[in-house]
Structure 1
C-alpha cells in the first residue's frame, strides 16, 4: 500500500519528533478532526505551516513567506495564539506581550463620509496611526509605539462578609513614532482569543442567533441582546457577526484576513493595501514583494482558514450539576446560551448567544465596531475554559483586555445587562459561589 507524502508529513507533525520538541506542552487545540481525506490533510498541513512558520520582510530569496510588514506586531500567528490558546498581557520578561494589542479609533462626526466608513469598516481609524498600534517595523520603518499597562486594585465586599479584589487597567502609549495622536483618540486593548471550536461556531445558523435577539427587551428580563450586522468584503453585503470581542467578523476567513493585515502587515484578497496611513511616508515607500499580487495569497488564506475550522474540539471535564444549576438560576445562562443543535444533528455547547450586550460603564471602552457601541460586547464562549486556562498557566487573563485574573474577577466586572446576574452571584454564600465558579472553570 502506497503512503502519500501528506500522510508521512502528517505523522511527523502530530507525533514523534514534532511533539517531542516540547514535551510538556498541552496539545488540546492542535489536533485535526477525524476522517479527513488525503487532500484535506494536505490542506490542513499547509494551513498549519503558514500559521506557525515565521514570515519575513521583502525583498528576500523566498517567495513563500515574504511580505511581513512594513508595520507589524508579530511575524507569526502562533506568537499571539500559543498552542492555539488565548493571548496574555505580559510575556516572560514582564513586557507587554505581542498578543495584547492596542486598537485606535476616533468618534464619528455624522458626516456622510463617516457614515459610509462605519458601514463598511465599522469604525473611524485614527488618522496618523490607523486602526491598531504596530510595535515593530521592518528595516528603515519606525515602529508606531510601545504599550504600558498598570493596574489599580479595587476592593470588593460580598454580602456574606467575605472580600476580594479586582484590578482596573490603565493603558498608555509611549515612544510615539509618528507624532501626537488625534485629540479625540479612543484607545483600547485586546487579548487574542483562544481558537476553540471556530468551525463549529460557523455552523450555527443566523436564524439560531437571531432567535435570541431581544433588542427592545420585550420579555422584560433586563437583557436586550442584539446581533452585530457587519460588512463582508467577501459577499459585498451585511452579514451577522459572530467572531471577535465585539462580533465584528462574520466568518473565520474574514477574521483571519483581518488579523493578517493588522497583526503582521500581510496584504491579502480582503485587504489589498498595506497597513500604512498617508502620514507614514517610510512605511509607504518600504520595499514590496512583487512575485504575487498579495503577501497572503488566496490559496494560503484558504489553507489557514481550513486549518482553523478543522481543529478538533477536545472533550471537557464533567462539571458538577450543582454548579450548573446555580449557573442557570443566577441568570448566567441567559446570555451564555449553553447549547445549539447543528444541521448535522450534532449538539455543541459553546455557552454563548454570540450577541452583543451592554456590560456597563466598568467594561466600556468607548469604541464602536459596526453596531456594537462603546459599552457593548459579544458574549464570549465559555467552552473549554479549563483547557484554555491550563495552557496559560499562571496568566489566566479573562475578559477582552486580560484584566481579570480569574473567572470570579470576570464575573465581578459584569454590569449593565449582566448586573442582575452579578448581584445574584454575589448574594450566594461562599460555598455556592465556589460551586458555580467550579462549574465554569471545568467546562
Structure 2
C-alpha cells in the first residue's frame, strides 16, 4: 500500500512538472518560437527525406535535444528487464517496437506491408463500448472520452512479449461498389468489412465498437499547436446558422497536462489537445510504454500474464519526462513540406475553393510565426453513415471526424513508393474515391464535384496531389 501511495504522489508531481516544462519549452527551448523566417521551417524539396530534417536555426542545445528525441523515435524498444535500460519497457502488449514502423520517414502509414497483402502495423484497431452511466464509465468518458472494451482495452495489440499472448489480428475484406457520374463515368469504390481473428482473451463485448485507424503524417505537429484556439473556434457553426449544410464543431477534451477541458486538435477525432499528449497516447497504445501521462501498463484486468509480466523496478516509467520531452521537441521541430505555388497550383486552389472543399479544408491559419496551410479547420463534421465508425470520443459522435489535414499528401509516394490510401481506414485508393465517400455535411460538395466536367475533376485531383 505504501508503494502505491508513493507512486501516486510521484505521478501527481510528474504531471505538475509536465505543465511547468511545457511553459519553459514555450519560452526557452522550442525552436519554432524563435523562427524569424518562414524558410527556416519550410522546404519545397519533394523527396523521401523532406520532413526528416530539423528546422533551421536550432542552437547547439536545441539540436542535441532534437537528436535525442529522434533516437527514441527511430531506435527499437525492447522488453524489460534488459541491459538496454534506455529503451526497455516494450509491452507487455504492443503493436510495434518503433515509432517509424507506423510513420515511415515521419509520414503517413501504409495500409499493407510492402509487396504484400498483409496489413501493415500502421493500421491499428481502436475498441470501445457504450457507457452504461455507472460511476466507473462516467470517469472513463470524462478522462478518456470513451469506455474501453473490457477484455482487450482501448486498442487491439497484435504482439506480446515473451510469455504474453498477443490479443488478436485485424483483417479487412472489401466489396466493390459502383458509382456513376452524371457524365456516365463509372468509379469503383471499396467498401470495407472489419474482421478480428485469433482473439486470445475471449469474446469481445457484445456491443463493442471496432474502428480501424491508419497512421497520419506527423508533419507540422508543432505548427498545429501554434494555432490560437479562437481561430479554430471562429469557424464553428454548430447550428448551421449560415444554412450551407456544414456545421463543424470543436471537440472539447480532457487534458491530463492541465487537468482541464481543452480544445482537441490531434487524431482522427480531435481527441488529443497537445503534441506531448498525442505522443504519450501512442507510446501507451502502440508500444505499451508507460509515461508520466500513462503510468500504468496497458493490460486489462482479465489479462493475468500481461499483469504479471516482468518489469524493471529501477525506474518509475519506461519513458521518463525528459525523454518524452525530447520526442516532443523532435516532432515539433521537423521541416514542413510546402508546394511551389506556381500558376497551375493557384488555378487548382481556386477550383478547390469554388467546389466548396475549402469550407472544411480551410486553406490557411495565421500564427505567431506566420501563415500555415494545413488544409483543415480542426473541427468535427458528420460525414454520413457510409463513413461512420460508431465510435464516440469525447464530443465526437460515431459519424463525426476531424477534417483530415491535406498537407504532405505529395510526400507519401516519395516516402513509400506507392500512392496514399486515404480516409481513416485506408479504404480509398485515390483522391476521387475519397471524395466520393464523403457524405453527411459534405454531400453537397461531393455532388458539386460529380457535376464538374471530367477535365475539371482531373484538374482538382492533380491539385490535391501537389499538396
Given the alignment of the two structures, is residue 254 of structure 1 paired with residue 277 of structure 2, yes or no?
A: yes
C-alpha separation in 2, matches of 1:142 and 1:335: 43
Native 8 Å contact 2:364 2:372 kept in 1: yes
Q: Which residue of 1 aligns with 2:420?
A: 396
User: Pick from 97, 100, 105: which aligns with 1:78?
Assistant: 100
**1:287 equivalent in alignment to 2:310:** yes
Indicate whether 1:434 and 2:447 are aligned: no
Q: Does 1:351 align with 2:351?
A: no
Which residue, 32, 36, 42 being the options, matches 2:64? Answer: 42
Partner of 2:79: 57
Q: Deviations over 1:24-67 (max 9, x none)?
A: 97101101001000000000000000000000001111210000
1-side partners of 2:464 and 2:77: how far apart? 37
Match of 2:12 in 1: none
Tell me the equivalent position of 1:130: 153
Query: Structure 1 residue aligned with 2:206, among 153, 167, 183?
Result: 183
Q: Does 1:147 align with 2:163?
A: no
Q: Report what 1:238 is aligned to.
A: 261
Matches within 5 A, 1:274-423: 274-318=297-341, 319-344=344-369, 346-423=370-447
- Once the two structures are overlaid, the 10-residue window that deviates more, 317-326 or 280-289, is 317-326
Residues of 1 paired with 2:157 and 2:47: CA distance? 29
In structure 2, what is the Cα distance between the partners aligned to 1:441 and 1:70? 40
Deviation by residue 1:369-423 (Cα, 9 ceiling, x = unmatched): 0000000000011112111343233251111111111111110000000000000
- Superposed CA deviations along residues 13-33 of structure 1, whole A, max 9, x for unmatched, are xxxxxxxxxxx9710110100
- Structure 1 partner of 2:23: none
Aligned to 1:167, the other structure's residue is in SS state strand
Runs of at least 4 residues off by over 4 Å: none
Which whole-Å CA distance do the structure 2 matches of 1:54 and 1:439 have between them?
A: 37
Residue pair 1:397, 1:404 contacting (<8 A) in 2 also: yes
Q: Structure 2 CA distance, aligned partners of 1:291 and 1:382?
A: 44
Matched residue, 2:26: none
Distance 2:287 2:109 in 1: 16
- TM-score, with length taken from structure 1: 0.93
Distance 1:331 1:110 in 2: 40
Structure 1 unaligned regions, length at least 5: 1-23
User: How many Å separate the matches in 2 of 1:63 and 1:218?
Assistant: 57
Q: In the alignment, what sits opposite 1:30?
A: 52
Deviation string 1:318-346 (CA, Å, 9 cap, x unpaired) is 353332222111111000000111123x1
Q: Distance in 2 between matches of 1:35 and 1:265?
A: 35
- Gap regions ≥5 residues in structure 2: 1-45
Greater shift after overlay, 41-50 or 383-392?
383-392
Matches of 1:290 and 1:81, distance apart in 2 = 30
Q: Give the alignment's Cα RMSD to 1 decimal.
A: 1.2
Instruction: Specify whether residues 395 and 171 from structure 1 end up closer, same or farther in structure 2 by C-alpha distance, changes over 3 A only.
Output: farther
